[in-house]
Amino acid sequence: MTSAAASASTRTDVESNVAAFTADLRRLSDEIGTMIVGQGPIVEGVLTCMLGGGHALLEGVPGLGKTLLVRTMAECIHASFSRIQFTPDLMPADIVGTNVIVEDPGGGKRFEFQRGPIFANIVLADEINRATPKTQSALLEAMSEGSVTVAKTTHQLEKPFFVLATQNPLEMEGTYPLPEAQLDRFFFKLVVDFPGRDDLHTILDRTTTDDVPRPQVVIEKARVLQLRDLVRKVPLARAVQDYAVRVLQATHPETAEATPTSKKYLRYGASPRGLQAIILAAKIRALLQGRYAVAIDDIRAVAPPALRHRLILNFEGEAEGVRADAIIAEILKSTRETV
């Protein structure tokens, strides 16, 4: 085969893979949309987290369909699903599991590990900020390493493993702020807005009649792992990567790239995990739009959900009620595409 023929064959394979990726994700998004009304960006954001190998944090008042979203997604990819309802009295062992004494047929006794609800492909950590920080931290190893350690024994979690946590706004009573280390494990933080009038009518039509839709399996969970591999193969120009690096540096008030607002209101900026989330999410966005290369516009589009939960305000920022999204918007506006 000549070099020109090989190049043409490679290009055809790439185009075929991108088309298949886009088709699978669109079908999955559309199927979830039969259950979730008017939250297209949230659905796409959650799918981006799953394909990026990360986890999603959804913030919104109760009753906006956050729980239904993750349950529907599990059904659509034929994955195991478990729900953990976080409450102030929930203990770490209630999440990861514990060793219990069992009696064997011979009358002897031994310890046996009883798995907790964390052992599922998709885990809904519902109202995560209602549990104490000690219990919240039980998710750290699972979210970061894909494993659980109990009594010095490490248990691997089946892939894909995806945590979707919901939290109520911190102003509500009975909530605890998530530790910075916990927040940093989330790929995106997505804010679920209250639906509009038309969407409310559609919700009523679907939920108060006898014609209730049921989600169907669209792809198998093994296909999710294949899509994750494809995401990491998307090429990234050095100039685009450098733009993302400078955006991240601008969140650190002590750097030369920091904007006036960053210097005035931020105590700490985003970690390298935030940069990894930006790059992977930008690759997924490019694929969803049928492109096999990342553009700077992709970086700009995914930066807010990737960074908003990773910025730590100082006392002045908290006192004045400064929003992380406003700081990120200023950074994106002031960061030049080239240096």
Q: What is the mean pLDDT of residues 42-67?
A: 85
Taking 70 as the threshold, does the pLDDT of residue 19 lie above it?
yes
Length of the chain: 339
Distance CA 24, CA 295 (A): 22
Say yes or no to pLDDT of 4 above 60.
Answer: no
Question: How many angstroms separate the CA atoms of 163 and 183, rounded?
Answer: 12
CA gap 76, 20 in Å, rounded: 17
Q: Are 227 and 288 in contact (CB under 8 A)?
A: no
| pLDDT grade for 3, boundaries at 50, 70 and 90 | low
CB atoms within 10 A of CB 92: 18
**pLDDT at site 70:** 81
What pLDDT shows up at residue 131?
83
203: pLDDT strictly greater than 80: no
- The two most distant CA atoms of the chain are separated, in Å, by 74
Cβ contacts of residue 232 below 8 Å, gap of 6+? 280, 283
For residue 97, what pLDDT is reported?
Answer: 87
Residue 9 has pLDDT above 60, yes or no: no
Q: Above pLDDT 70, what percent of the chain?
A: 93
Identity of the amino acid at 161: F
pLDDT at 51: 92
CB-based contacts of 56, cutoff 8 Å, min separation 6? 45, 46, 49, 50, 162, 163, 164, 165, 186, 187, 188, 189, 190
| Domains within the chain, CATH numbers bracketed | 235-339 (1.10.8.80)
pLDDT, average across residues 216-221:
86
* Residues 178/128, Cβ–Cβ less than 8 Å: yes
Residue identified by tokens 């900026």 is 269
Predicted TM-score (pTM) of the model is 0.87
Higher pLDDT, 30 or 176: 30
Q: Which residue has the tokens 């064997």?
A: 104
* Mean pLDDT calculated for residue range 187-206: 82
Return d(Cα 66, Cα 126) in angstroms, integer. 9
Q: Which of 282, 181, 173, 301 is nearest to 236 (CA)?
A: 282
Tens of pLDDT, residue by residue over 245-300, are 999 999 999 998 999 999 999 999 999 999 999 999 999 999 988 888 899 999 99
